[in-house]
Amino acid sequence: MFDSGFGGLTVARAVLDLLPAEHLVYLGDTGRYPYGPRALGEVRGFARQISRYLLDRHGAKCLVVACNTASAAALDVLREEVEVPVLGVIEPGVRALVSATRNGRVGVIATVGTVASGAYQRAVAAMGADVDLTCAACPGFVEFVERGETTSDQVHVLAERLLDPVRRAGVDALLLGCTHYPFLARTISDVVGRDVVLVSSADETAFELQALLRTSGLARPPAAGAGCHRFLSSGDVAWFESLGRRMLGPELGPVEPVVW
């Protein structure tokens, strides 16, 4: 599993809880983070490099792209190139979003790169769901979360401005299409209203991973015992360890460095 940094740990948490027997290697590319403002072609290159690394060095049997921006930029190419099943966070999130709406008006908020890629618009169209989709980019949200500032007046003011399009569209279900946004759920909910269902893709991705491993005969049997968990970072490992443990919990042991 990989992400540009820490945010994918929300997906890792869901996988550890649902699939405790699976071995997990999580790579946070914090040395090149954030991906959101980068060109999609550049993010695609990073995703290909990380995927090869996880396959060749760690013998991954399946890849989870636990980053919306990387899923938007590279899922198609990874599915063509790599020899193992690849799961992203976009399709599971969209499935959950579509089943959550009652009035047929749904929203997705994500990084600039993800929204500009059109990946959510394509995923909704591919599903053939009869919904009106409003997408809004939220530049600045990730930085607030990284600073641990999730309910300040400043983030609230920013949220009021950035969430205005989804509020005006009258959505009743809003997908948090960026790994970091679940940490802003309280502020987002204050701004869009408590009656709007906030959907996070982490749990849905874990359920799809479970189904994928089962149907492809790749699941590790529970009788084999608890899985091992390794955490790797291409940036400052001490920072990853302290912030990562706050996000994931005690399973986040010593973080191993990766040098590109």
- Asked if 90 contacts 123 with a C-beta cutoff of 8 angstroms, the reply is yes
Told to check if 1 binds ligand DGL by CB under 6 A, we report no
User: Residue 25, Cβ neighbours under 10 Å: how many?
Assistant: 18
Q: Which lies closer to ligand DGL via its Cβ, residue 107 or residue 219?
A: 107
Alpha-carbon distances, residue 213 vs 62, 94, 207, 245 (angstroms):
8, 20, 10, 27
Residues between 67 and 106 with contacts to ligand DGL, criterion CB under 6 A: 67-69
- Asked if 27 contacts 232 with a C-beta cutoff of 8 angstroms, the reply is yes
Active site residue 67: yes
CA geometry: angle 89, 92, 95, nearest 5 deg: 145
How many angstroms separate the CA atoms of 245 and 11, rounded?
14
Active site residue 228: no
Told to check if 33 binds ligand DGL by CB under 6 A, we report yes
Q: Which lies closer to ligand DGL via its Cβ, residue 201 or residue 219?
A: 201
Q: Which lies closer to ligand DGL via its Cβ, residue 219 or residue 237?
A: 237
Told to check if 204 binds ligand DGL by CB under 6 A, we report no
Q: Which of 25, 26, 28, 35 binds ligand DGL (CB under 6 A)?
A: 35
Q: Which lies closer to ligand DGL via its Cβ, residue 35 or residue 144?
A: 35
| Torsion angle of C-alpha atoms 118, 119, 122, 127, degrees rounded to 10 | -150
Residue numbers annotated as active site: 67, 178
| Residue ranges in contact with ligand DGL by CB under 6 A | 3-5, 7, 33-36, 67-69, 111, 114, 142, 178-180
